[in-house]
Amino acid sequence: MTPVQYRRADSASDAIRLAGTAGHRLLGGGTNLVDLMRKGVERPDTLVDVTGLPGAIEEAADGSIVIGAGARNSAIAAHPLIRSRYPMLSRAILAGASAQIRNMATAGGNLLQRTRCVYFADAAGSRCNKRAPGSGCDAIGGFTRYHAILGASPACIATHPSDMAVALAALDARVHVAGADGARALPLTDFHRLPGDRPDLETELAPGEVIVAIELPPSRLAPRSDYRKVRDRASYAFALVSVAAGLVIEDGRISEARIALGGVAHKPWRAWRAEAALQGEAPNEAAFVAAAEAELAGAEPRPGNMFKVTLAKRTLAAVLSGLCEDQA
Amino acid sequence: MSRVQNVLVGTVRSALGWVPAQWLPGGTPDPLIGRRGEVGRQAARLDGDVKVQGQARFSAEVPLENLCYAALVHGTITRGRITRLDTAKAEAAEGVLLVVTHRNMPRVSGPSLIAITDPTAVGNSSLPILQDDKVHYNGQVVAAVVAETQEQADHAASLIEIDYAAEPAETRFEEAKSGARIIPSLLIERNHLSLGKAERELTRAPHKVDNLYRTQWQNHNAIELHALTVAWGGETLTVHDTTQMIASEAATLAKMFGLKREDVRVLSPFVGGGFGGKGFWDHQVVAVAAARMVGRPLRLQLTREGVYRIVGGRSATEQRVALGADNEGRFTALIHNGYSVMPPYGACPEAYTLGTRSAYRAKSFEILQRHIDMAVVPNTFMRAPGEAIGTFALESAVDELAHELAMDPIELRLRNLPEKHPITGAPFSQHAAAKSWADGAAHFGWERRSATPGARRKGEWRIGMGCGSGSFPYVRMPGAAVRLTIRRDGTATLACSAQEMGMGTSTVLAQQVADRLGVPLDAVVIETGDSDLPAAPMAGGSGQSVSIAGALLAASEKLPAELLRLAGNDSPLAGLRAGEIRLGQEGMASAADPSRHETFRSILARANRDEVSVSATGTPPLEMMKFAMHSTAAMFCELRVSDVTGEIRVDRLLGSFDCGTILNPRTAASQFRGGMIMGLGLALTEETWLDERSGRIMNPTLADYHIPAHLDVPDIEVMWTGIPDPRSPLGARGIGEIGITGVAAAVANAVFNATGKRVRDLPITLDKLL
């Protein structure tokens, strides 16, 4: 690991100032960044520890819940407001990593974690357009089990690894960021980018901007919502496919559907097409299968991950069915 | 592994066929067999306390003054030559003491490859270590950095700049098959075995199955990383290493570095998991050389990635198993052949057909393994090398045949169990596979299995049961030596260079000493883990405990004569000869008249001696050559498969073992369970991603290489027949490896029972069930 300086940010403005300095990287739980530094993928010269910044989970006047960027994943998952109003989010967080990692990892860091593409991680021996723009992509034609089937590009087929962010995408979360030019908020679904020809640019965060909070708007999804993660072992593995979904059913029709997929794209994949297909439909198997088909119609799998198209469709349809099973 | 060896082994075997059994080791059953004592009790691990307190000191934790630290640089091409090697930046980096490359590495010849014929040979690879600019496989060590701290060494290692001229390399299994070679023997067995006309019998058989089975590359993942702490003192060398082969590593280092054997000491009191991976690899040689060059004590610990890069694992295989049977299910043809990898510089033949040779009776056999050359880190011994994956192929095929015959798969196995070794005709020393099947089936509730695949379901989950046979041969290694010392304070010390890898070796040895001498367990002291002690064999082949048991038996037979010499004419034992003595009750007595007894303390006190000591080596293990000595297991699995996602959840596993005397039920159960968990990994999750385009391993981390997590491991039950083997010391056979065997087949067969889908390609990942 390259020698590195360590500093603590005492305030948000401190963090903003330091984040804009060349060679500086913000350090949350370090559960991903430090690994990547050991592998020589990330080479910051200064780490700015932002875990001292607010991590409170509070209800705003309009009923939204605001999660400070420094909140630990385990604290979010266990919080009574989250568990009662956004159980899908609790489940998503608890489906990820291990208890020890969740105790360290922060909300802001979770959104900014890097792909677990093994070619991205292999700085010594593999080409990667995300790590070294323009060098090529060794994942294409290689091991693609954990790679994208939606929204990928000839430059990059990596996936975003977060579970939490998939639930946040389905819950219409907003990301509050602040920089030297002031603060702004954007929908989580617009926060991460698709790879295009610049897979090294992963979010809409401008240089010097930092995440200060995640806002969850009031939601009616809680009674019928779930997060299901499909993976290669029962715990401590990234998603092959995951589904975050919530439905509101009124008068026998679906009046609201919120769905996002994980493990399939460079960003948490909001399933707009499936949602549109379900709007106003009767909640039955045929409608769920049709919605899944609609969402995956544009899938472009590769050798090694062809199965994920079927897996995503089946898992999505099964989760939606499950949401309608236990209640009249 | 030569033709000469085949002839020698064959000659010994046929000669022993004429020798009466009572002349051989085990000819008279060990008197401890069946006696109630410490052996067989659930003694707690002797090393338990220090381990849970964090007091057990592992090789990377040995504190030494003035210690420096090394880091390795791994090559990133698969075959070729280094054309530029710039170490200037690394040498200039803070704290750096030395950069080792092929340019300044002392000239050392490669170690001798592990071979049955040479117990001191430890090499897993015969490639030169930092001796030239050539690269033979991806990840090979190309340089090392020594610095004041580990962090400085790691950083400097990243500053070394290397250019390569790559050359073509064989990295694709399928393509390499065309160049496969046939080696004459597998360990001590002949490779090619042909009995009758198996292909013709297969063609004629009214019932048959004939399929290919594939298993993937696997890597070693002991939680303790490979590490050594080295200290030179002039022409003496002390190495604190984590190794399964203490004595032979000391001998090898002495040879490689031009030292006297007695001037090299290897210390390894605790090994944090071995499984065959804690052998002799390039890092030991680099560390010893670097410590001498830098003139300071030095520590080298591999990174997790480093273990994947330079420590081999289990070879991928493609196996064909064909079974022909008559209408009653009796096997008329058994064919098992296939391909595995063994580069010319490697030592492990991955003998997946060995278990097949003693598993079933058949009218005809055709068995042959072919070995292919690939540019890879040489594969090595990994828990039940051969049997772990060989039983997957064979026992899947038996299940397939049972289905085709519409016969219960256990019944089919019972109908084909051999009464004697099916190939050599040698009698079994002890063989109760039928009982372990019956006991296991009853306990597991096998009768609840539906013979029709896919018949049981709960919600989206299809439920299935499967079973498979496991097997592992008895191995008692030649040359095991011990020193047994009895002291006036009433204690007895057993000393030998045994390896304690966490399985309970020293605990079980203490139990044996207590019974051999008739002393209380807490009066026994076990000294192991040091090459200055009498040489124990390496911990391998599940043979360590029984090999040392043989040496202890020999030592305890020598003890009466020594003690009689001391006892003199005033002893109640006066006038007795050694052959008339029995050890027991903290002393010894006349066998004919047990009232003539004197304690060890009393004898030593009268002789005014503090201690008496005997050294002994176990008898040559000729019993292995005369008798067929095999452990067997019946494995049972119940699992669920999701109709939606193909995910598998194993709900129950049961292993029913026939392994001779169980020396300590507590440590044995843990060994069996650990093996079965590793079997689950083989069946369901473990796979090294060797990128065949580059020859590079792409998942060298515990996050990306999936060993089973806690949630993947169900309730595991283990049981055993406990029937002693009359031909082995204590009636015991090894138990370290058999736990992994048969598990993958039991899982695959349960998946078939649940879904009707036959997966012949490990690991059984969910995509194969969608």
Cβ within 8 Å, pair A311-B138 = no
Other Cβ atoms closer than 10 A to A199: 25
Give per-residue pLDDT as tens, B18-40. Answer: 888 888 888 889 999 988 899 99
Name the β-bridge partners of B338.
Answer: B319, B369
Q: Nearest chain B residue to A119 by CA: give it.
A: B698
| Residues in chain B within 8 Å Cβ distance of A142 | 691, 693, 698
The answer to whether residues B462 and B640 touch, using CB atoms and an 8 Å cutoff, is yes
| Residues in chain B within 8 Å Cβ distance of A40 | 158
Sign of CA dihedral B721, B727, B728, B733: negative
Whole-angstrom Cα distance, residue A187 to residue B126? 59
Last residue within a domain, chosen from B560, B595, B620: B620
Q: For residue B455, tell me if it sits in a domain.
A: yes
Whole-angstrom Cα distance, residue B687 to residue A25? 34
Among B645, B685, B767, the residue with its CB nearest the CB of A233 is B685
As given in the structure block, the two tokens for residue B722 are: 């406990």
Q: Does B89 touch chain A (CB under 8 A)?
A: no
Query: How close does chain A come to B711, measured CA to CA in Å?
Result: 6
Domain carrying residue B484: 476-620
Same domain (yes/no): B348, B268: no
DSSP characters over B591-639: SS-TTSEEEHHHHHHHTT-SEEEEEEEPPP-THHHHSB-EEEEEEEEEE
Q: Nearest chain A residue to B650 by CA: give it.
A: A234
What mean pLDDT, rounded, does chain B reach?
A: 96
DSSP characters over B401-415: HHHHHT--HHHHHHH
Other Cβ atoms closer than 10 A to A109: 25
> Considering the entire predicted model, what is its pTM?
0.97
Query: How close does chain A come to B712, measured CA to CA in Å?
Result: 5
Q: For residue B498, tell me if it sits in a domain.
A: yes
Expressed in angstroms, the distance from the first to the final Cα of chain B is 44
Give per-residue pLDDT as tens, B71-124. Answer: 999 999 999 999 999 999 999 999 999 999 999 999 998 888 988 777 788 999
Same domain (yes/no): B567, B520: yes
Same domain (yes/no): B490, B374: no
B737 annotated active-site = yes
Mutate to test the interface with A, among B155, B162, B688, B698 (most CBs of A within 10 A): B698
Interface of B with A in 437-496 (CB under 8 A): 460
Q: What is the pLDDT at residue A327?
A: 53
Q: For residue B4, tell me if it sits in a domain.
A: no
Q: For residue B592, tell me if it sits in a domain.
A: yes
Q: What is the pLDDT at residue B64?
A: 97
A interface with B, Cβ–Cβ < 8 A, is 1-3, 40, 116, 118-119, 121-122, 124-126, 138, 141-143, 230, 232-237, 240, 307, 310-311, 314-315, 318
Query: How close does chain B come to A291, measured CA to CA in Å?
Result: 16
As given in the structure block, the two tokens for residue B641 are: 């498969």
User: Which of these, B638, B683, B634, lies nearest to B471 by C-alpha position?
Assistant: B634
| Residues in chain B within 8 Å Cβ distance of A119 | 698
Q: What is the pLDDT at residue B110?
A: 83
Task: Return the axis-axis angle of helices B387-405 and B743-755, rounded to nearest 10°.
Answer: 30
Query: How close does chain A come to B705, measured CA to CA in Å?
Result: 10
| Residues in chain B within 8 Å Cβ distance of A233 | 684-685, 706, 708-709, 711-712
Mutate to test the interface with A, among B757, B766, B769 (most CBs of A within 10 A): B766
Mutate to test the interface with B, among A94, A122, A145, A296 (most CBs of B within 10 A): A122
Q: Helices (DSSP H) in B219-300: which residue ranges?
A: 246-256, 282-294
Cβ within 8 Å, pair B770-A314 = yes
What is the biggest distance separating any 2 CA atoms in chain B, rounded to whole angstroms? 84
Q: Does B765 touch chain A (CB under 8 A)?
A: yes
Could you give the C-alpha distances from A36 to A44, A116, A262, B508, in angstroms and in order? 10, 10, 22, 44
Pairing of strands B715-720, B648-658: parallel
Same domain (yes/no): B654, B753: yes
Torsion of CA B128, B130, B133, B137, to 10 degrees: 60
Give per-residue pLDDT as tens, B522-545. Answer: 999 999 999 999 999 999 999 999
Q: How large is the average pLDDT for residues A289-295?
A: 98
Expressed in angstroms, the distance from the first to the final Cα of chain A is 57
Q: What proportions of chain B, in percent to the nearest 5, are helix, strand and coil?
A: 30, 25, 45
Query: How close does chain B come to A159, measured CA to CA in Å?
Result: 15
Last residue within a domain, chosen from B587, B602, B620: B620
Find all residues with CB under 8 Å of A163, minimum gap 6, and list them.
A92, A93, A95, A96, A227, A229, A239, A242, A262
Same domain (yes/no): B523, B639: no
Q: Does B263 touch chain A (CB under 8 A)?
A: no
Interface of B with A in 56-75 (CB under 8 A): 74
Give the DSSP letter of residue B389: H
User: Which of these, B586, B584, B582, B619, lies nearest to B601 by C-alpha position?
Assistant: B586
Domain tally, chain B: 3
CATH at B264? 3.90.1170.50
Find all residues with CB under 8 Å of A319, minimum gap 6, and list them.
A226, A228, A243, A245
| Residues in chain B within 8 Å Cβ distance of A1 | 151, 154-155
Whole-angstrom Cα distance, residue A58 to residue A62? 11
Sign of CA dihedral B665, B668, B672, B674: positive
What is the biggest distance separating any 2 CA atoms in chain A, rounded to whole angstroms? 63
Give per-residue pLDDT as tens, B454-479. Answer: 999 999 999 999 999 999 999 999 99
Whole-angstrom Cα distance, residue A288 to residue A259? 12
Give per-residue pLDDT as tens, B350-373. Answer: 999 999 999 999 999 999 999 999
As given in the structure block, the two tokens for residue A80 are: 């009574």
Q: For residue B548, tell me if it sits in a domain.
A: yes
Find all residues with CB under 8 Å of B178, minimum gap 6, and list them.
none
Same domain (yes/no): B206, B231: no
Q: What is the pLDDT at residue A2?
A: 85
Name the region of B54 (left: φ>0; alpha: ψ -120 to 50; beta: rest): left
Same domain (yes/no): B480, B426: no
Mutate to test the interface with A, among B148, B158, B680 (most CBs of A within 10 A): B158
Pairing of strands B236-241, B264-267: parallel
Low-confidence ranges of chain B (pLDDT < 50): 1
Same domain (yes/no): B404, B522: no
Give per-residue pLDDT as tens, B665-685. Answer: 999 999 999 999 999 999 999
3-state secondary structure of A52: coil
What burial class does residue B349 get, using C-beta atoms within 10 Å of its C-beta: 0-12 exposed, 13-18 middle, 19+ buried?
A: buried
CATH at B587? 3.30.365.10
Last residue within a domain, chosen from B575, B595, B620: B620
Q: Does B158 touch chain A (CB under 8 A)?
A: yes
Same domain (yes/no): B562, B634: no
Cβ within 8 Å, pair B689-A233 = no
| Residues in chain A within 8 Å Cβ distance of B696 | 122, 125-126
Same domain (yes/no): B298, B336: no
The answer to whether residues A176 and A183 touch, using CB atoms and an 8 Å cutoff, is yes
Same domain (yes/no): B356, B428: yes
3-state secondary structure of B135: strand
Q: For residue B598, tell me if it sits in a domain.
A: yes
User: Which of these, B337, B71, B86, lies nearest to B210 by C-alpha position?
Assistant: B337
Same domain (yes/no): B139, B235: yes
Q: Which of B38, B586, B623, B737 is catalytic?
A: B737
As given in the structure block, the two tokens for residue B702 are: 């515990």
Predicted confidence (pLDDT) at residue A328 exceeds the cutoff of 60: no
Predicted confidence (pLDDT) at residue A168 exceeds the cutoff of 50: yes
As given in the structure block, the two tokens for residue B107 are: 């000239």
Q: Nearest chain A residue to B701 by CA: give it.
A: A118
